[in-house]
Amino acid sequence: MKSISITSTFVVYNTVEELAPEVKELMSQAVAIRKKAYAPYSNFRVGAAILLDNGKVVLGSNQENAAYPSGLCAERVAIFQAGAIYPEAKILKIAISATADDKETVEPIPPCGACRQSIAEYEFRQDVPIEIYFMGAVGKVYQSNSLKDLLPLSFDKNFL
């Protein structure tokens, strides 16, 4: 028997103001679309903004449904829309902002497991790392240079 150690590295920005202008604008769009989320059950709103290599930005917000788990997370709304509308484009960056209606979150909130797996599919397919930036409503922003930092032991087509 042996042990392995897996390390992930993130860049931490103290505020959105520290981000590069392009990323700051992307996060601004994620915050704006977050406010339009349909979240009557959880009262937890998430917004995602995706920058493609063709310069287009695709947005998504979480969409809930009374018939759990029929809703969809913001990240998957955006990434599936990007794949449907711009199937040849590569995803360069994803900005994510999340918060509860009754409590402003100050800690960065990463994508859930299902969203990580969906992002992994696109990163593997395009063979180009996707930068992922995530935050709460305010405060610090974490940057991952690849989905592999969030999901180091990924499941992909090579296992099929």
Burial 119-136 (b: 16+ CB within 10 A, else e): bbbbbeeeeeebbbbbbb
If one counts the domains in the chain, the total is 1
Q: Which residue out of 17, 75, 121, 123 is catalytically annotated?
A: 75
**Residue 4 in domain:** no
Q: Does residue 25 have an active-site annotation?
A: no
Residue 160, pLDDT score: 83
**Residue 5 in domain:** no
Residue 156, pLDDT score: 81
Is 66 known to sit in a ligand binding site? yes
**Residue 1 in domain:** no
Is 67 known to sit in a ligand binding site? yes
Residue 159, pLDDT score: 84
**Residue 31 in domain:** yes
**Residue 26 in domain:** yes
Q: Could you tell me whether strands 91-100 and 57-61 are parallel, antiparallel, or unpaired per DSSP bridges?
A: unpaired
- What is the domain extent for residue 53? 11-152
User: Residue 120 belongs to a domain with what CATH number?
Assistant: 3.40.140.10
Of 128, 51, 97, which is closest to residue 120 (Cα–Cα)? Answer: 128
Q: pLDDT digit string (tens) for 87-141? A: 999 999 999 999 999 998 999 999 999 999 999 999 999 999 999 999 999 999 9
